[in-house]
Amino acid sequence: MDFSYTAKEEAFRNELRTWLQDNLPEGWLDGTFEYPEEENERAAFLRDWQRKLSEGRWAGISWPEQYGGRGATLVEEVIFEQEMAKVKAPPIINTIGTAMVGPTLLQIGTDYQKETYVPKILNGDEIWCQGYSEPSAGSDLAAIQTRAVKQGDKWIINGQKVWTSFAHLADKCFLLARTENTGKKHEGITAFLIDMHQPGVEVRPIHQINDAYDFNEVFLNDAVAYEADVVGEVGDGWRVGLILLSHERVGVAKQTFRLQKLFDELADMAKTLEKNGRPLIEDQIVRQKLVGFRAKTRALLLNYYRHLTDTIRNGRPGPEGSLDKLASSELGQQMLAFGVSIQGANGQLWKEDAPVNANWQKDWLRSFAYTIEGGTSEIQRNIVGERILKLPKDIKH
């Protein structure tokens, strides 16, 4: 057991810190930066940020050097997420591309796919979305019904996707569709790379409870995919789809570090807010609850590191990621709920009228998605119960 970093890892951290100091938008670190309110302006701002990151070779650090990455180790990726969380860096708009699609194509894509798509992912020239979920296939993803039929060297796709994040901004989509009905639902699925700017694709943003429009319905009416855009083998899409997800290897780290930051913000808020003329942090109930959160955020981080140690030792991640996902999403919800709760009656106000900072209300509402997106908490509990504890499998059809 050794809870310290090597000199090389510390050097990596310092290089990133220096880069962030020099390159974060004006006013970012001292908190005077104003996020563009308008959707298109914000997208433009985020695309700029992505370009800057890729120029500094910080957009996809785990990518091989020849593709603009740094061939970073897992620990370096973790340090990266830690530092980004510390300064609350702007999000990477093309994260589906950089974290998942790119690495998947580099792993199992054809030369054509590598040449055509990979270079435009890191610099954000082409933004990707992930078309998996459908109205009747959510947790039961293998139940997808969107169909792709071969016509000459094209595939014609019909059906509907839903909850597709960033589809309204995306240029490309990594899409799962059914190419054969064998009667077994995990068979006959194929993974396609499709263009979002074509007549057969219609995107309708969905209004979310936090008053944002980040995910969408995607209607596919004779949308086209070319033969060269099949990833892996035809009919092998279930496996390919899982490979894509397996590349999201630091997603939990990201959330884990955000929660460390969130804890600090929560404590800071409790030092500023007052109750009966005393700082809230001196209130016994608030104080006790906060230290409880402190223990849980520490435990989350240390659990994550222990699982990371296993991953490094075994050379691949195990199902423990589900434990981290489960814990982080629920803890995030609890802390944000507490953050709004200690704002008292004014806590119900949001946007311009938010009593402390509108992010508390916005993030609290956003937190209700934590336990749904990327596999619900119920599904994560099934995964842990069945794969780690080896309890009997759930009833499935």
Partner 1 sequence: MDFALNEEQTLFQNQTRQFLESKGDLTIPRSYMEGKEEVLEELWKGLGDLGYMGITISEEYGGLGLGDLTLVPILEEMGRVVVPGPYPETVAFAVPLLQAYGTEAQKQKYLPSIAEGKRKVTLAVLEASGELAPSEVQLQAKVSGDEYVLQGTKILVPHGDIADTLIVPVRTGGTNSEYGISLVIVDADQVTLDTKKQISMDETRKMVQVTFNEVRVPKAQLLGPENAGWGILQSGLIHLNAALTSTMVGGMDRVVEMSTEYAKTREQFGQPIGRFQAIKHRIVDMKLDMDSARSLSYYASWAVENKTDDMVEAVALARSFSSEAYLDIAGKNIQNHGGMGFTWEFDCHFFLKRARALENHLGSPESFRETAAVEMGWNGKKALV
Ligand X SMILES: Cc1cc2nc3c(=O)[nH]c(=O)nc-3n(C[C@H](O)[C@H](O)[C@H](O)COP(=O)(O)OP(=O)(O)OC[C@H]3O[C@@H](n4cnc5c(N)ncnc54)[C@H](O)[C@@H]3O)c2cc1C
For ligand X, the binding residue among 230, 369, 383, 384 (CB under 6 A) is 369
Q: How far is CA 215 from CA 161, 168, 177, 239, in A?
A: 11, 8, 19, 25
Beta bridge partners of 226: 154
Is 109:116 a contact under the CB 8 Å cutoff? no
By CB under 6 A, residue 164 contacts ligand X: yes
Is 286:115 a contact under the CB 8 Å cutoff? no
By CB under 8 A, residue 323 contacts partner 1: yes
Annotated catalytic residue 180: no
Q: Which of these ranges, 108-116, 128-136, 196-204, 219-227, lies near ligand X under the rule CB under 6 A?
A: 128-136
By CB under 8 A, residue 296 contacts partner 1: yes
Nearest to 186, CA basis, from 247, 249, 107, 240: 240
Q: Go through 282-316 and write b for each residue having 16 or more CB atoms within 10 A of its CB, e for each that does not.
A: ebeebeebbeebeebbeebbebbeebbeebeeeee
Q: Which of these ranges, 11-19, 172-180, 236-244, 378-386, lies near partner 1 under the rule CB under 8 A?
A: 378-386
All residues at 6 or more sequence positions from 303 whose CB lies less than 8 Å from its CB, including other chains: 323, 324, 327
Taking only Cα atoms into account, the Rg of the chain, rounded to an integer number of angstroms, comes to 22
Tell me the two tokens of residue 30. Answer: 């001292």
Return the number of the residue (104 or 382) whose C-beta is nearest partner 1.
382
Alpha helices by DSSP H, listed for 74-110, are 74-86, 95, 102-108
Smallest gap from residue 207 Cβ to ligand X (A): 12
Is 70:57 a contact under the CB 8 Å cutoff? yes
Q: How do beta strands 128-131 and 172-178 pair?
A: parallel
Q: Which of these ranges, 10-18, 249-257, 321-329, 338-346, lies near partner 1 under the rule CB under 8 A?
A: 321-329
For partner 1, the binding residue among 8, 17, 204, 298 (CB under 8 A) is 298
Catalytic position from the list 217, 248, 265, 330 = 248
Beta bridge partners of 195: 172
Alpha helices by DSSP H, listed for 188-319, are 237-246, 251-272, 284-314
Output phi, psi for 160, to 5 deg: -145, 135
By CB under 6 A, residue 373 contacts ligand X: yes
By CB under 6 A, residue 238 contacts ligand X: no
For ligand X, the binding residue among 139, 272, 288, 346 (CB under 6 A) is 139
d(CA 126, CA 287): 47
Q: Which does 130 bind (CB under 5 to 8 A by kind): ligand X, partner 1, none?
A: ligand X
Q: Which does 335 bind (CB under 5 to 8 A by kind): partner 1, ligand X, none?
A: none
Return the number of the residue (23 or 334) whose C-beta is nearest ligand X.
334
In the three-class reduction of DSSP (H, G, I as helix; E, B as strand; rest coil), residue 351 is classed as helix
By CB under 8 A, residue 300 contacts partner 1: yes
By CB under 6 A, residue 85 contacts ligand X: no
Return the number of the residue (39 or 378) whose C-beta is nearest ligand X.
378
By CB under 8 A, residue 262 contacts partner 1: no
By CB under 8 A, residue 8 contacts partner 1: no
For ligand X, the binding residue among 12, 163, 293, 360 (CB under 6 A) is 163
Smallest gap from residue 339 Cβ to ligand X (A): 20
User: What is the set of active-site residues?
Assistant: 248
- Residues engaged in binding partner 1 (CB under 8 A): 1-6, 9, 75, 267, 271, 281-282, 287-288, 290-292, 294-296, 298-300, 302-303, 305-306, 308-310, 313, 323, 326-327, 378, 381-382, 384-386, 388-395
